[in-house]
Amino acid sequence: MNQTESTVYKYKVEASSDEEFIAKIDDYSKASGPEVYTAVFKILAGIDIPEKKGSRFWRESLEHRLKLMKLLGRYVDITTALSDFLQTSTEHLSHPRLIETTYYENVVRDTIYDQLTGLFNRTYFDETFTQQLSLAKRYNTDLTVLFLDIDNFKEVNDTYGHLAGDEVLKQTAGIINLEKRDSDIAARFGGEEFILLMSHTDSINAFILAERIRKEIELHLFSHKSDTLRITISGGLASYPLNSDNPTQLLSMADSALYLSKGAGKNRISHFKKEKRRYLRVKISQPILVKELDFKDSIPFSGKSKDICVGGILFENKHPLPIGALIKVKVETGHNSSVLLIGKVVRIEKFSENRYDIGMTTSFNEMAKAANHEISAILHSNGSP
């Protein structure tokens, strides 16, 4: 074999001989554990070997190769020796067949890479993430996940077309791939979402890398045909063991951190923060009527509630409201009944044309004043002083 080249998980192994290839595989196994041997059997033989057998099978296959060369009196490459060992000494390769390496590598590439961006795909990431988290637990090392989402990507597609949107996705992926470290695993998670897996990385160092990626994307001039535009990206971080040791929960935490960035104005990176709400929020979807107080000529407008708690309400409507504005919200509860809430606007986020999410905290003092005013009006109308 004049040139051996194979992708073993996140490593690209290049060697000028089988002996050099074998030495590099052993070096990688010392750094990352027995998963490397499992990957070798998957890439070279196309079979799944249990991790607990991988190291032993690799060692025995190398011994088998030396025996074959001594018996035949000629050179035997590692692929031939591996195939013969698996067929004659194990039950894992009962019906081998020949296949062109280039064709096989193309099949593997299509299976693990996203065709548009060239990054790993969601399926590959999910498998690798579980394995890397297991290694982090075994060797007591840090691991951090970064969720990234392009801000206002729908507007790019609507304004410039989907081909321009595809170009933005490809160029964004290129920046992520360029800025990440060799040991990091970058994948397209879906749509305009990307994810970066950083092994041996705590939350602080992960934030430094995430900020570098964010700034590079913010400064980059994206181009498609005659169109040029700038975009921004928001991100969320969650770490093992700081936040969780459960892979599903860790991804959910990174996703929650991403939406903290979105809610705080976008184009930023946020760490996961534990829920600090004092009250239970309940998802609701009811018609509401909103009116800004302290303005005699303010016009009521309709909207839709999203969730509510004792401390406030989140609702959607077509009109922006200034932060700090005092508003009255009437929530329809059905059966010709409603609830009146009064408070201040503490959050506003535009998520599409003429669509805003508005968060309001309840002011019990203002509600008490309104109740007193209503009671006074009723007493006055009945002739009471």
Q: Express each pLDDT in 46-62 by its tens digit.
A: 788 887 888 888 999 99
C-alpha separations of 259 from 263, 265, 314 in Å:
6, 10, 15
Query: What is d(CA 146, CA 194) in angstroms, rounded to the nearest whole number?
Result: 8
Task: State the helix-helix crossing angle for 78-89 and 35-45, rounded to 10 degrees.
Answer: 100
Phi and psi of 216, rounded to 5°? -60, -40
pLDDT in tens, 207-233: 999 999 999 999 999 988 888 899 999
Provide mean pLDDT across the span 231-242. Answer: 94
Specify the pLDDT at position 48.
82
Report the SS3 class of residue 1.
Answer: coil
Task: Check whether 193 has a pLDDT greater than 70.
Answer: yes
The pLDDT score that the predictor gives to residue 184 is 95
b/e 40-60 (16+ beta carbons within 10 angstroms → b): bbbbbbeeebeeebbbebbee
| Per-position DSSP letters for 213-255, written without gaps between them | HHHHHHH--EEETTEEE---EEEEEEEETTT-S-HHHHHHHHH
Contact (Cβ atoms closer than 8 angstroms) between residue 156 and residue 229:
yes
Per residue in 324-349, pLDDT (tens digit) is 778 888 888 766 777 788 888 877 87
Q: How confident is the model at residue 103 (pLDDT cuts 50, 70, 90)?
A: low
What's the whole-number mean pLDDT along residues 108-119? 82
**7 has a pLDDT exceeding 60:** no
Q: What is the pLDDT of residues 83-101, one digit of tens each?
A: 888 888 888 877 766 666 6
Show which residues are catalytic.
192
